[in-house]
Structure 1
Amino acid sequence: MPHRKFDDPDLPLQDLMSRWPQTIEVFLRHKMLCVGCMITPFHAVIDACIEYHLDYDTFIDELRAVIETGV
């Protein structure tokens, strides 16, 4: 099975943070409680953005930046 891209709208947060642990920094910066939450296997980035009233495109850009830099 091919790896899913980080911006796949159906990618669960748990998979995102497991494959790209540097993205955890972005969630923490926004004071999101997604890291370690029991819902992460079921929520995608769009769900988290809705829950925390964040702009999806801006948040995806932040995730992209930390993934591309590898930090």
Structure 2
Amino acid sequence: MAQATGAGQGSGGSVGHDRNRYRHAARHLAECQSCDAGIEDYGDLPSHGQFLEVLKQKHGRKHGCWHLADS
């Protein structure tokens, strides 16, 4: 979940822009979740669940995104 920055936007973008980015991110997370069951060995990479834990630790305040991702 990259942060949008620009003149006059501070550390975020418009509410509508964030909502669109969050929908897009939630769709990607859902697609990754659906692929997770078919992966038997992640090798040196974290599992999908482990990746989500780290992502939520780093971006836990993005409640709008997590609401969409958990739906």
Which is richer in helix? Answer: 2
Q: Shared fold by TM > 0.5?
A: no
Larger radius of gyration: 2
TM range (shorter): under 0.3
